[in-house]
């Protein structure tokens, strides 16, 4: 059997061990990346294909008659035409939970940077302002404490729960939003219109679906406190980016930390990449990318293939 990995460099920085994949399927073709025009030729005789972000649409799948298993090297599977795969009898498995520790860590890296203003203080030292100070410390940038603040979470799966645990360790109060589109209220969930005015920090951890696209728009931003912080390590499309940029410029929001944009990479630009937006930190979708996280992902890919070979596939989409 032949396995084809279409975009290995999307997760490998020459620091991962792929021997687990080689053990379960000895015959592999590894490609650093694959352009859309190259996909059909590369998978035409494959039995197993792994893709992180390379698109596998219906027309491409039809040109791969031997294909029996698609392993998505991510949780999101929007790059695979699932109905077309099902029609061809192709099993699709994804990976789940591999990046929880890394993403939770990144959420608080962004939040602490915004609350303690350490990037500004580091720049002040580099600019010589501490060396020229008239006293022993520099306190030019307002510092806030997490203790006693309220954190709102939208999306309470493993990531949201992990963020909640750390927030409570900092002494924060945690509120969990009702799932968008929920009809029946639950006792431990707070409707979004009730939650937003209460929170000092809002952290997003829900998937991008038709119901959640543009979830944080003009109305939601207007409900938030002027000093509130928005953290988005989920999907860029959850937030109206132009309105967020405008709110930050106007001082209608205290700050934002985002690790995701609506189009990645942002080859056509993005409203949040403008240089004049205050109190904004943008990182390049790297929250998940610890070496440990990426190695767990490779391990799950191997498990998915082995379980499929054994006739009991796991993590089936």
Catalytic residue among 96, 173, 189, 285: 285
Residue-by-residue DSSP string for 99-139: THHHHHHHHHHHHHHHHH-HHHHHHHHHTTTTTT-SSS---
Torsion of CA 298, 50, 72, 103, to 10 degrees: 40
CA distance 67 to 2: 9
- From the number of C-beta atoms within 10 Å of its C-beta (0-12, 13-18, 19+), residue 272 rates as buried
Residues pairing with 230 in the sheet: 202, 256
Three-class DSSP category at 56: strand
Three-class DSSP category at 309: helix
Of the candidates 292, 316, 304, the one whose C-alpha atom is nearest the C-alpha of residue 20 is 304
Catalytic residue among 117, 205, 235, 315: 235
| H runs (alpha helix) in the chain | 19-24, 39-43, 58-62, 82-87, 100-116, 118-126, 158-169, 192-195, 218-223, 241-250, 291-309
**Distances in whole angstroms, Cα of residue 288 to Cα of each of 101, 113, 127, 298:** 8, 18, 32, 13
Of the candidates 130, 85, 123, the one whose C-alpha atom is nearest the C-alpha of residue 316 is 85
Is 205 catalytic? The answer is no
Is 303 catalytic? The answer is no
Is 285 catalytic? The answer is yes
Quote the tokens at residue 84.
Answer: 């077309």
Token look-up 């980016």 returns 241
Catalytic residue among 129, 264, 291, 292: 264
Known catalytic residues? 235, 264, 285
């Amino acid at each position: 059997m032949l396995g084809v990995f279409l975009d290995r460099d999307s997760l490998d920085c020459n620091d991962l061990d792929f021997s687990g994949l080689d053990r379960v399927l000895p015959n592999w073709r590894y490609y650093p990346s694959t352009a859309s025009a190259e996909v059909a030729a590369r998978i035409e005789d494959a039995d197993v294909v792994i893709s992180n972000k390379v698109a596998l649409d219906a027309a491409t799948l039809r040109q791969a008659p031997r294909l029996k298993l698609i392993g998505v090297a991510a949780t999101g599977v929007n790059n695979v035409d699932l109905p077309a795969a099902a029609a061809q009898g192709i099993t699709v498995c994804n990976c789940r939970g591999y990046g929880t520790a890394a993403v939770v860590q990144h959420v608080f890296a962004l939040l602490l940077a915004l609350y303690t203003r350490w990037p500004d203080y580091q720049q002040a030292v580099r600019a010589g302002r501490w060396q020229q100070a008239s006293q022993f410390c520099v306190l030019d940038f307002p510092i806030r404490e997490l203790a006693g603040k309220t954190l709102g979470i939208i999306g309470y799966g493993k990531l949201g729960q992990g963020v909640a645990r750390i927030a409570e360790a900092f002494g924060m109060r945690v509120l969990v939003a009702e799932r968008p589109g929920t009809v029946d209220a639950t006792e431990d969930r707070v409707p979004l219109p009730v939650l937003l005015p209460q929170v000092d920090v809002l952290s997003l951890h829900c998937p991008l679906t038709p119901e959640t696209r543009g979830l944080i728009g003009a109305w939601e931003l207007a409900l938030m406190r002027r000093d509130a912080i928005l953290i988005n390590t989920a999907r860029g499309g959850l937030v109206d980016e132009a309105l967020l940029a405008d709110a930050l410029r106007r001082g209608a929001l205290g700050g934002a930390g985002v690790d995701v944009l609506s189009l990645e990479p942002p080859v056509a630009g993005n409203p949040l990449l403008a240089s004049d937006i205050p109190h904004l930190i943008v990182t390049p979708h790297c929250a998940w990318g610890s070496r440990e996280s990426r190695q767990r992902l490779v391990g799950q890919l191997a498990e998915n293939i082995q379980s499929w070979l054994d006739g009991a596939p796991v993590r089936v989409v």
